[in-house]
Chains A and B, each alone.
Chain A
Amino acid sequence: MLLGRVIGTVVPAVLVDEISAIPLLWVQPLDREGRPDGKPLVCADGTRMAGPGQMIYWVASREAALTLEPWFVPVDDAIVGLVDDVRLYAREDASR
């Protein structure tokens, strides 16, 4: 799983039946310090509670399909949970 931030929503006009009831959101992948890292992607929202501005964590591929209810639907990436806080420990070794 990786961190991401919801940066927008996608409203499809036509969608295959299996994912027609699942919210689709634009997600900007983040590095562990919360900085944008990579290209935005469209995630299905397994929690159904994420919205623009929210930090989330997401999975890809088969695991994404398992996040959703009903499960095993055709999606690439899906949100598993919402992030309240990322606690990074202080680095003890400056050489890292």
Chain B
Amino acid sequence: MILGRVTGSVVSTIHHPIVDGRKLLVAERLDQNGRSTGRYVIALDAIGAGKGETVLILDEGNGARQILEDANAPVRSLVVGIVDAMELGTN
């Protein structure tokens, strides 16, 4: 999983049926210190994450398909958690 911050959303009317009724979030990718890496990903929302929140993004297709319960879903990135706090050890 990767760390991200929700920085926007994508509005899409015409799309694959798996996107129906789901939110597409624009998330900037963060490093372990919560700083932006300059990269981003468009992820489907599985938990109701909102503006500015730090989130955990599952970035692997088979896991995403399990959560969506659709073996043929063309989805790789899925927001699966909202992060409250992080702590890094000194070593």
The total number of A-B Cβ pairs within 8 Å is 90
* Range, interface on chain A: 20 to 34
What CA separation (Å) do A46 and B75 show in the bound complex? Answer: 13
Residue of B nearest to A71 (CB): B72
Kindly state whether residue B13 has any CB partner on chain A within 8 Å: yes
Contacts A1-B41, A1-B43, A57-B42 given; does A63 touch B13 at CB 8 Å: no
Partner of B11, one of A66, A71, A83: A83
On A, residues with C-beta under 8 Å from B are: 1-3, 31-32, 46-47, 49, 57, 59, 61-67, 71, 78, 80-89, 91-92, 96
Closest 6 A/B residue pairs (Cβ): A81-B15, A88-B8, A67-B74, A66-B74, A85-B11, A1-B42
